[in-house]
Amino acid sequence: MLKLRLPLSTKLIFAFSLVIVIGVSISTIVGIRLIGNTILRQAQDKVRLDLNSAWEVYNAESEAIKTKIRMTANRFFIKEALIGNNLAELSSELQKVRRDEELDILTLVDTRGVVLVRTRDLKAFGDRSTDGIVDWVLINQKPVVSTQIVPESVLLREGEDLARRARIDMLPTPKSRPRDETVETAGMVIKAAAPVHDHTGALLGVLYGANLLNRNYAIVDRVKDIVYKGEQYDELDIGTATIFQDDLRISTNVMTIDGKRAIGTRVSEEVYDRVMRQGIPWVGRAFVVNAWYITAYAPIKNIHGERVGILYVGMLEAPYIDLRSRVVFIFLGIAVASVLLLSVIAYFTTARISGPIRELRNATRKVADGDLKHRLQITSRDEIGELSESFNRMTVALQKATDNYQALTRTLEEKVKEKTEELSAAQDFLVQSEKLASLGKLAAGIAHEINNPLTSILINSHLLLERTDKGDQSANNLQLIIDETTRCSAIVRGLLEFARQTPPEMTLVDINEVIKSTLLIMDTQALVHKVKVVKKLTKDLQHVMVDVNKIKQVFTNIVLNALDAMPEGGVLEIASSVSGENKEIKITFRDSGRGIPKENVTRIFDPFFTTKGTNGTGLGLSISYGIIQQHRGAIDVESEVGVGTTMAVRLPLYPITGDEKEETRDREV
Amino acid sequence: MTEKFKVLVVDDELPVCKSIASALTSKEYLIDTALSGEEALELQEKKHYDAIIIDLMMPGISGLELLKKVKKNRPDTMMIMITGYPSIRTAVESIKIGAFDYIPKPFTPNEIRSIVTRALTRKRVTQKKVEESRFLEDMPVPEGLYTIPNNSWAKVEDDGSVLVGVHHMLLVTIAKIAAIEFPKVNETRYQGETCVRIVESSERLHRLWTPVTGKITAINTKVQDDYSVLYKDPYVKGWLVQLTPTNLDVDLKNLLVT
């Protein structure tokens, strides 16, 4: 799977952003819901209260009718007229009352319920009232008021215009319950009835009055005025009220699109089921005619407690929705601002976290690349700070370990180098020794073999010479033989000395001491030669491993040669120093003698080369050369005729063999 | 007529034997020669030699073995070692065992005659306590000297130089000194090599071996002027030459310490 390589800061910012977005979204959604619901709940609570107010208005209307009827029933002229059976006067008086009290119906019946005066149609009387209210008053002899459904036949009897007013064509309404009828002929009235007693209290009859609610907008408009004070929103009344007869809107101030009262439309089946069928008030959103309202519905009951209609109040939802939208908008604004603010905080926090981590990563890379000296700056006291500190500790430890390791490796390398040099030195020494040993054996053999014949020659030539006269030519010849034989003998002796095998005795010494002790012996000689000896010795030189006697022999040889080179006197300067990057000690002998001709410079170390004639064997410098070679050193010669000769002896500062080195160490320890 | 000295020459090389015999041929000596140690042992059983000249390097019985055996049989026989390999160590070793002196090859007739004479004189001194022994015979060698017995001594001075002188027993065994041939200053002398020649009045030549290799730096002019100093004080005032040693420590190991 391909893994996207994202920087830590991006991941952190992403994570932060995710948290912020989720957090803000949840709080926004919850907040909006909460606020929206609160607004709606408050709206609903208000509607519930408004419904109560509407009920007050409705009941007040009912009570007003009831009071009117009760007062009228108690009026004296009705009792008098009834007692005196003066119906004509009663009719005219009651007609006046109906007009004065603005009642749609005002009818008087006798104790059997037979109509005596029908104020709306004086000619129509004598029929038996079928109204439940009249019967109730006849029995209970108390005033009462109630909402009643009145069928068309009854309406027609009370007044033809009332039946016309009550007749409402049903308009097709979505969501309403299906009904077969297309027109409502019955009307819904608020009807009050009161008993009429004589002075003794005997029942004379019952007076009842009613107002038809169909197309009567007094109640709904009063509700609107009282509760909503006629406020409008987008040219729509915020508050509306309606009276339903069953499910039909018979009195309302809910308007249709064309601005007419929405008479004839019906309530939705959902509301109808709840309110009419189950008798439970409804509070909630509802689509009323052409807009969403927050509504409350409650059933209207008749005197028998039967549900005959619905009282409705509703507030236009739009202001609340808009309010909620504004709140949501503000909320979203706050959320967006929060996201931005949190993002900025997250960015800086991330930077604070990822910065040191990035540095840590860079430091890790540097360490991986071998830069163990890199240290992190600790800027915080948190886990990253601790990590940085741990990292620093780790690199310190790592560096220490690496240093140790390198030191160990270096030591090891040096040791290997040392050992190799020692081995090579030892091998060279061995080879040299073997060569010298072979040469020594050879020389010894030669000496032995040659000396025997030389002995014979020498003795016999001497014997011959003894017998020869001194002036004789043969005597000279014999003397020549004797001289040459003697010279042969000297050469053989020199050869033996050259090849002489003496085991080296290596000791660690201060070369200055060796020079001084050599010069001590030579001082007399130098005086004899009128040579001034100047010492330029470097103090505290590292000790060298040498065979002191052999080195003394070399120095003596060189000094004696120098003195020989200055028969008329001169200066011999002897200096010691460290050279060759502390790898060797250099001892120079500079004389102001006659110098060595160029052609001889390369030959002075050759065995038997001498410029001293019979005074030298020509082996002194050869032996010296051999000794210095045994010490793995060198002798350099610089010479100029008439100016002087400089001989430089260089001796290495490392020991010649391993064994002796160990001894030296033990001693040092 | 006095009895002749019986001398045996032992060398594995016939020419050398003959040459030495020729050199020594005189009225005083009866000379036999032997070409091997075995032969020499046989001869010395039959005859009681006064002196035997023995080559150190011989096949079969070596010179040193022969020296030991003869020394056991005939302690009074003077033995002179000759060697073609003038290693002072072997020579000193042979003197420690009982040889009178040694002489490196090659040598002249005079030299061999002188050393034989000296040996025989020494023998006589020991046997008869002759007058010639004078006062020197019982003289002890001072302490701290390095010697080649019967021949020379060396003394290391505080300044590192070495004084060389003559062993008193050499003086005892030679006649009056006629001349002393000193080496030249600046000459180098190797250990075991001739350092000084002492010439007797009888013209016999005696070699004084160089005890320590070195360059001659001075000679004792007082002795040069008056040889009697030697007899009076051979170990202090009678030093002969001074030299600068070049290989002192090694050389000293080959010498006898008193």
ipTM exceeds 0.90: no
Dihedral (Cα; A492, A497, A501, A507), 10-degree rounding: -170
Counting residues of chain A whose pLDDT is more than 70, the rounded percentage is: 90
**A230 and A119 in contact (C-beta within 8 Å)?**
no
* Rounded Cα gap, residues A277 and A54, in angstroms: 22
Given a cut of 50, whether residue A197 has pLDDT beyond it is yes
Closest in B85, B106, B186 to A444, CB measured:
B85
- Chain A residue numbers with beta carbons less than 8 Å from the beta carbon of B250 are 502, 549
Write down the pLDDT at residue B135. 47
So what's the pLDDT on residue A612? Answer: 65
Is B159 within 8 Å of chain A by CB? yes
A196 closest CA partner among A207, A186, A188, A185: A207
Closest CA to A241 of A187, A315, A307: A315
Cα-flanking dihedrals φ and ψ of residue A49, to 5°?
A: -65, -40
* Residue written as token pair 């003596």: A556
> Does residue A79 contact residue A198 with C-beta atoms inside 8 Å?
yes
| Residue B161 contacts A where some CB pair is shorter than 8 Å | yes
A364 near A372, Cβ under 8 Å?
no
Give me the mean pLDDT over the A350-356 stretch: 78
On whether the CB atoms of residues A525 and A563 are closer than 8 A, the answer is yes
Q: Could you tell me how many residues make up chain A? A: 669
pLDDT (0 to 100) of residue A664: 38
Residue among A222, A213, A256 nearest A241 (CA)? A222
State the DSSP code for B131: G
Given a cut of 50, whether residue A669 has pLDDT beyond it is no
Kindly list the averaged pLDDT for each block of 10 residues, start to end, along chain B of length 258: 82 90 88 93 90 89 90 89 73 82 86 87 68 53 84 88 90 84 84 85 81 88 87 88 86 82
Residue A666 has pLDDT above 60, yes or no: no
Amino acid at A438: S
Kindly give the pairing relationship between strand A531-537 and strand A570-579: parallel
Q: Return the pLDDT at A391.
A: 84
With beta carbons less than 8 A apart as the criterion, state whether A187 and A163 touch. yes
Closest CA to A267 of A169, A177, A188, A147: A177
Two structure tokens written together for B12: 């594995």
Contact (CB<8Å) A525/B244: yes
Average pLDDT on A37-52 reads: 85
- pLDDT of A619 reads 67
Q: What is the mean pLDDT of chain A?
A: 82
> Given this model, what pLDDT does residue A212 score?
92
- The answer to whether the pTM exceeds 0.80 is no
Which residues lie below 8 Å from residue A121, measured CB to CB, with a gap of 6+? A157, A158, A159
Q: Using an 8 Å CB-CB cutoff, list chain B residues near A556.
A: 215, 244, 246
Asked which of A348-352, A656-660, A663-667, B58-62 is least confident by mean pLDDT, the reply is A663-667
DSSP annotation of B247: S
Confidence of residue A243 (pLDDT cuts 50, 70, 90): very high
Contact B105 A452 (CB under 8 A): yes
Residue A438 has pLDDT above 80, yes or no: no
- Residues A644-667, mean pLDDT to the nearest whole number: 62
Task: Calculate the alpha carbon distances from A321 to A27, A35, A39, A228, A293 in Å.
Answer: 20, 11, 9, 18, 10
| C-beta separation of B118 from B78 below 8 A | no
Q: Of B165, B159, B173, nearest to B244 (Cα)?
A: B159
Q: Which residue out of A460, A518, A521 would a mutagenesis test of the B interface target, given it has the greatest number of B Cβ atoms within 10 Å?
A: A521
User: For A219-225, what is the mean pLDDT?
Assistant: 87
Least trusted range by pLDDT, from A6-20, A89-103, A234-248 = A6-20
Nearest to B193 among A453, A493, A528 (CB): A493
Chain B residue with Cα closest to A556:
B246
Q: What is the average pLDDT across A262-267?
A: 88
Burial B134-163 (b: 16+ CB within 10 A, else e): eebeeeebeeebbbbbbbbbbbbeeebbbb
Q: Do A557 and B84 touch (CB under 8 A)?
A: no
* pLDDT tens digits for range A328-338: 888 888 888 88
pLDDT in tens, A91-122: 888 888 888 888 888 988 888 888 888 888 87
Which residues lie below 8 Å from residue A302, measured CB to CB, with a gap of 6+? A132, A146, A147, A148, A149, A308
* A281-303 tens-digit pLDDT: 888 888 777 778 888 999 999 88
- Alpha helices, H only, A292-382: 317-368
Distance from CA of A460 to the nearest CA of B (A): 6
The reply to whether residue A497 touches residue B22, judged by beta carbons under 8 angstroms, is no
pLDDT of A501 strictly over 60: no
Give SS3 for A333: helix
Rounded Cα gap, residues A437 and A501, in angstroms? 7
- Residue in A closest to B85 by C-alpha: A448
Separation of alpha carbons A20 and A190, rounded Å: 62
Which of A454, A497, A552 is opposite residue B106, by nearest beta carbon? A454
Strand order in the sheet with A144-150: A115-118, A105-110, A203-212, A187-197, A144-150
Exposure on the CB side of residue A363, measured as CA atoms within 13 A: 23
Enter the tokens of residue A308: 């005959």
Q: Is A407 helix (H, G, I), strand (E, B) or coil?
A: helix
Q: How far apart, in whole angstroms, are the C-alpha atoms of residue A629 and residue A431?
A: 12
Residue A584: its pLDDT value, please?
A: 87
User: Which pLDDT value is given to residue B130?
Assistant: 46
User: In this structure, what token pair is assigned to residue B49?
Assistant: 């030699």
pLDDT at site A426: 65
Instruction: Determine the pLDDT at residue B132.
Output: 45
User: How many residues comprise chain B?
Assistant: 258
Per-residue DSSP letter, A128 = B
Percentage above 90 pLDDT, chain A: 10
Checking if the pLDDT of A668 tops 80, the result is no
What tens digit of pLDDT does each residue of A599-655 get? 888 778 776 677 765 555 666 787 788 888 888 888 888 888 888 899 999 998 864
Interface test with A, best of B246, B247, B253 (most A CBs within 10 A): B246
Q: Are B146 and B252 in contact (CB under 8 A)?
A: yes
Alpha-carbon gap, residue B10 to B49, rounded angstroms = 12
Q: Taking CA atoms, what residue in B is nearest to A504?
A: B250
Weakest-pLDDT range from A446-455, A491-500, B25-34, B165-174: A491-500
Q: Give B15's contacts in chain A (Cβ within 8 Å).
A: 452-453, 456
What local confidence, expressed as pLDDT, does residue A656 receive? 43
**Candidates A457, A459, A556, partner chain B, best to mutate (most B CBs within 10 A):** A459
User: Residue A652's closest CA among A641, A642, A660?
Assistant: A660
